[in-house]
Structure 1
Amino acid sequence: MTLQTDRRATQTTHPLDQLTTEDFDAVRSVLEQEGLVPDTTRFAYVGLLEPSKDELYPTPGPGTDRRVRVMLWDAALSRSLDVALSLTSKSVLRQIELDPSVDGQLPVLLEEFDLIEEILAADEGWIASLASRGLTTAQVRVAPLSAGVFEYENETGKRLLRGLGFRQDHPGDHAWAHPIDGLVAFVDVENRRVSHLLDDGPVPVPEVNGNYTDPAIHGELRTDLKPIEVIQPEGASFTIEGNHLSWLGWDLRVGFDAREGLVLHQLHHTLNGNRRPIMHRAAISEMVVPYGDPAPYRSWQNYFDSGEYLVGRDANSLKLGCDCLGEITYLSPVVADDFGHPRTIPNGICIHEEDAGIAWKHTDEWANSNEVRRNRRLVVSFFTTVGNYDYGFYWYLYLDGTIEFEAKATGIVFTAALPYKGYEYASEIAPGLGAPYHQHLFSARMDMMIDGNSNRVEELDLVRLPKSPGNPHGNAFTQKRTVLESEQQAIRDADGTVGRIWHISNPESLNKMDQPVGYTLYPENSPTLAMADDSSIASRAAFARHHLWVTKFAEDELYAAGDFVNQHPGGAGLPAFAAQDRNVNGEDIVVWHSFGLTHFPRPEDWPIMPVDTTGFKLKPHGFFDENPTLNLPASTAGHCSPTGCHDEN
């Protein structure tokens, strides 16, 4: 049997608790009192402004200010505001008006998803272009696509979306099967008009079936699947109070943000009564999906799903037995709608345990012993839908001290009409239907705190040694350790040929071997950003050009591509942070790790893509003095052999 518990925060008891419905109502009330929310104002973002570390450690004081950041867009005034306010004092602390040509635009609003179709449905040029293809606006859905920054005329400082059309044959039809190629609309959503229409004439619309639940595609459903039941008759091994989660030595606070989604706060591990900090904050600060097709209808395609579209705001409500399996506890985070009103996402966060295979095992004939122990992991996850793609964000904590992040990508690949067989920049995934090559690149921001704030990063490389008098058989190899001293030196790339890893340690905290305690980051060695170094996307998504960045902690440096990503000209975020070239050896540091998928779509990715995964691991490296799972009991006889998982002799 599977169980679920839904916990919705109703009272704020800690400064890092998630924002509640009452908080959102209070935010709007404060802004109304200041005259900042006329009827034309929309809320592009509302999120917790977290207290400083000084306010949180060793424990937060009773008077810790509860602060919120709000981004307001007013189309009537053509005004973007970045506002900080205090819920404690019920006052606005600061407000900054942005210059869109320099600072960029605020994130895409939910209402703009529909607005682009409304604008195009009334545009004579768009209507005529569809008519030349034998189509009407009623037959066409338009994808609201972020515009980026390019050399197109008369776009600087304007709030834009670009629209690609897809024919929808009936209300339940998955229109991605029918891309309308050779046509793209550049839409000024602020002034509600089409600023430019690129139409190179009709292209045959692919006539494939993309309805993956249609029996005509999937045939008879399987009948040979036997049930798999996940049961925990004594309940789960974790507890949660408010947003404070404890599990078998681990404890943390589960946060949620409309932009980043899941945020892990104050991650600690306790062994033998010794509670130790590992990370102050961990989140996926940005993700970008750049496309590699140079055709004029798609060469501008690159989407920042966090900074432009807000992955947390678009989180799914999860279903027991479908999205999550087992003894489940759900959290229901609250986000703001376009009008600043609270919107609860029921069951938006899933927390549960999973078996994780063998923890350790050995059969020793000398000692006449045969022992095996099973591992398990705690899973904290959410799923989000951004247009055609669906993403799962999974944080795993293991009994052996390992921390893992995994992103799961599924949904429907972006489609186009294939220009010709063997097109160099797309895969043919169905007859006449192309899927352009693209990437899904993420940036994890990890505010490290291993046994305190004095941390550093060393790069560890395998070194192959030639034959020598000291290495007569040529079998010797060793490891090179390089301390990354400054932010510029700490811009690094993975290298699988030397097994490159990065060791994050505290030189002021030593283990029983008198070595600094630490954790090691193991990258996947996946490709970095594929676009030309002097391209617009390379400037705007510079974080994705390298696998590792290390910066000195600063409270306002949260996002790898900067605060205002939508139509930002570039250079913000990590390039600007690292340009200060601050010392990062033995300091309060933030480790940023870029990773992701480079997707050359397969026919098997159509009409819906099986889950593909990417991620990284952080493993304890000298953090413990020995294997921390030695105290695991053997599995009971009811779950394995009659004698259990160890010899009785």
Structure 2
Amino acid sequence: MSTQETLKQVGHPLEPLTADEIIKAVAIARKERGLTDKARFEQVGLYEPEKSVVLNFKEGDAIVREAFMIVLDTADSQTYEGVVSLTDEKVISWTHIPGVQPSFLFDEYYELEETVKKHPDFHAALAKRGITDPSLVMVDPWSVGNFGIVEDEGKRLAKALCFVRKFEGDNAYAYPLSGLLPVVDLSTMEIVRIEDYGVRPIAPTAAPYKPEQSDAIQVRTDLKPLEITQPEGPSYEINGHNIKWQKWDIRIGYTAREGLVLNTVDYEDKGVKRPILYRAALSEMVVPYGDTDPAHDWQCAFDAGEYGIGQLANSLERGCDCVGHIDYFDAIMATGNGEIHRIPNAICLHEEDYGIAWKHTDWRTGDVEVRRSRRLVISFFTTVANYDYGFFWYFYTDGKIEHEAKLTGILNVSVLEEGENPKYGSLVAPQIGAPIHQHIFNYRIDVNIDGQQNSVQELNTVASKPDYATNKQLNAFHVETTTFQTELEAQRNMNLETARGWKIINPNKKNFVGEPVGFELVPGENAIPFLHDESSIVKRAGFIKHHLHVTKFDRDQMYASGKYPNQGEWNGSTLNNWVKENRNIENEDIVVWYNMAVHHVVRPEDWPVMPTHYIGFKLKPHGFHDGNPALDLPRPAAVKGQSCH
């Protein structure tokens, strides 16, 4: 298919690159830059147009298509960024980025395992542990971080966590070879060194989670079918990656790093389409471990920036991952060799009943009015080695947006000596300890509340002064509101003592009571990091110290951890350093960054597979509408013989 034919199929500037466009972009780069087979493509994705192009776009306008790529030359571990015009079929920029390492390539996972398992020094380390069959060993790549090791500078490295199965199909994560850590140069696929902190026992107990592998797991037989049907089909409409549902107009995208991206989220109110978000996605997920054991004290995964959660997404199965009437979107990316990495059914779209939207009963007359709520669900699931993460965006009939992360999968554990009780973790099984750790999710929310000129207010509730003239019963409390003016001022943390909240407003647009229109950021579960400022983790990810940041929009400031956190140095390319510019953020085009944290003191109930843990936040209209936007919901159809009103 020609480039022009491909362009004709694209109906909007933010449509993700098609497979044909990715292949075309790689071919243009190879030809113009003379790339050899040593070139590896860390990512090839849409180079998103300027906001003005997107926001002023009208159907039928000409669309200029450009691809952004990060290319690693494995011959010398040098990294390049390129922008390729698909419209003009040429490279329009090519930049060498010195001293950085792109995230892991999907292909490197398999290559690293093969490299480690066939090495004679690794065989010798296994023999010390009584392991004679390397085929039963499982190897996971882990990012090495940055601890200032001089001999590691300039090399593209990964550490290997090792496990051993008792038999094929066994849960290898139950048998960690703790303290055995091969370090691999990913460019040359050679072992640099093997860190060996001493032989430890093999865990004495199995941890199967499949019923057919355990007599102890008796599958329940008393669950009756629960059917979800939509005989008339769903209430949404799909056009490419544009979704319209219940006054919502949503465009979605997808990247190898972030996974699912929300673009141009609008809401129709009284016949007018009102913008709310320009772009929202997971920016980074930092997972620090709190154990001093050398098997763990170096561990801190940057799951988005180092591993690419988008490229590790699952193909979802109807009836398993999603139930009811489902529509799916494939994720299309590049492999390291510049071919197509397609994940079928990567994004799931469906509707859910969500209980009571609103209700009132007049106790005098017996008159009842009730409406049922419904939500649109857009989600994807990804597997990063042992952990599995779901990312769900919900849109409600009352104008609310909610995000929820779901954590499950298998814990990162260590084997212990008999009778050993871990100080920095929990026993989850005999001689199996799970370190205390956190999952800190950072979201980049490019707001667009009724337009691009927005501000952020902080709301703190305080008890009013004990003035017997104005507060005679000493019961009064009120909200004090502060509007942030600069970036440093807007580094904030939650505070339960003042019921602290944050509201994003458009000071130029007023609602019918004369106040600025706005949306409130409503935090959910959260925690703070327990890390010293001088730790490597905080030096690389200081943004995790605050729950909220607000920055002036800059299209190059996309990820809180910077573009290249893998083996990242302690430099200024991260969110906590950007805010030092202290730009004005009042009545400006701004970006809100929110951190939420799971503080995981591990339980035996989290083993061998962790029950799903839910954490999230809401974006709730606060003065955006003139009243309850769900008043116009239809009365629900009552069950035969009964009445809803």
| Same structural fold, with TM-score higher than 0.5 when normalized by the shorter chain | yes
1:129 to 113, 125, 128: 125
Deviations 1:214-246 (A, max 9, x none): 442553211100011001111101001111100
2:196 to 199, 202, 222: 199
Is 1:148 the equivalent of 2:149? no
Unmatched tracts of structure 2, length 5 or more: 1-5
SS at match of 1:332: strand
Shift of 1:337: 1.1
1:405, 1:615 within 8 Å by CA — same for their partners in 2? yes
Please list, as runs of the form range in 1=range in 2, the aligned pairs for 1:575-594 lying within 5 A after superposition: 575-594=576-595
How many Å separate the matches in 1 of 2:215 and 2:307?
Answer: 32
Shift of 1:366: 4.4
Shift of 1:391: 0.6
In the superposition, the TM-score normalised over structure 2's length comes to: 0.95
SS at match of 1:327: coil
Identity between Structure 1 and Structure 2 (%):
43
Opposite residue 587 of structure 1, the aligned amino acid is E
How many Å separate the matches in 2 of 1:9 and 1:496?
Answer: 52
How many Å separate the matches in 1 of 2:436 and 2:251?
Answer: 38
2:525, 2:616 within 8 Å by CA — same for their partners in 1? no
Opposite residue 208 of structure 2, the aligned amino acid is N
Partner of 2:279: 281
Opposite residue 205 of structure 1, the aligned amino acid is I
1:55, 1:64 within 8 Å by CA — same for their partners in 2? no
Seen in structure 2, the aligned counterparts of structure 1 residues 280 and 260 have a Cα distance that, compared at 3 Å, is same
Partner of 1:465: 464
How many Å separate the matches in 2 of 1:217 and 1:593?
Answer: 45
1:185, 1:194 within 8 Å by CA — same for their partners in 2? yes
How many Å separate the matches in 2 of 1:227 and 1:393?
Answer: 26
How many Å separate the matches in 2 of 1:548 and 1:9?
Answer: 40
SS at match of 2:56: coil
Partner of 2:624: 623
How many Å separate the matches in 1 of 2:544 and 2:147?
Answer: 19
2:291 to 290, 293, 303: 293
Please list, as runs of the form range in 1=range in 2, the aligned pairs for 1:10-159 lying within 5 A after superposition: 11-60=9-58, 62-100=61-99, 104-136=100-132, 137-159=134-156
Shift of 1:368: 4.5
Equivalent pairs, count: 634
Deviates most, 239-248 or 336-345: 336-345
Seen in structure 2, the aligned counterparts of structure 1 residues 11 and 45 have a Cα distance that, compared at 3 Å, is same
1:418, 1:428 within 8 Å by CA — same for their partners in 2? no
Please list, as runs of the form range in 1=range in 2, the aligned pairs for 1:2-401 lying within 5 A after superposition: 11-60=9-58, 62-100=61-99, 104-136=100-132, 137-215=134-212, 216=214, 218-366=216-364, 368-401=366-399
How many Å separate the matches in 2 of 1:254 and 1:122?
Answer: 43
Opposite residue 94 of structure 2, the aligned amino acid is Q
Shift of 1:39: 1.0
How many Å separate the matches in 2 of 1:158 and 1:519?
Answer: 46
SS at match of 2:152: coil
SS at match of 2:407: strand
RMSD: 1.8
SS at match of 2:345: coil
How many Å separate the matches in 1 of 2:93 and 2:205?
Answer: 54
How many Å separate the matches in 2 of 1:609 and 1:183?
Answer: 25
Please list, as runs of the form range in 1=range in 2, the aligned pairs for 1:523-562 lying within 5 A after superposition: 523-524=523-524, 526-562=526-562
Partner of 1:5: none
Deviates most, 408-417 or 65-74: 65-74
SS at match of 1:307: helix
Seen in structure 2, the aligned counterparts of structure 1 residues 251 and 32 have a Cα distance that, compared at 3 Å, is same
How many Å separate the matches in 1 of 2:644 and 2:34?
Answer: 65
Deviations 1:62-93 (A, max 9, x none): 33321111111121133211111111111112
Opposite residue 598 of structure 2, the aligned amino acid is L
How many Å separate the matches in 1 of 2:410 and 2:170?
Answer: 13
Opposite residue 343 of structure 1, the aligned amino acid is H
Partner of 2:431: 432
How many Å separate the matches in 1 of 2:184 and 2:525?
Answer: 39
2:77, 2:156 within 8 Å by CA — same for their partners in 1? no
Shift of 1:29: 1.5
How many Å separate the matches in 2 of 1:503 and 1:468?
Answer: 29
Partner of 1:499: 499
Seen in structure 2, the aligned counterparts of structure 1 residues 47 and 144 have a Cα distance that, compared at 3 Å, is same
Deviations 1:617-647 (A, max 9, x none): 010000000000111111112xx3634321x
How many Å separate the matches in 2 of 1:36 and 1:585?
Answer: 47
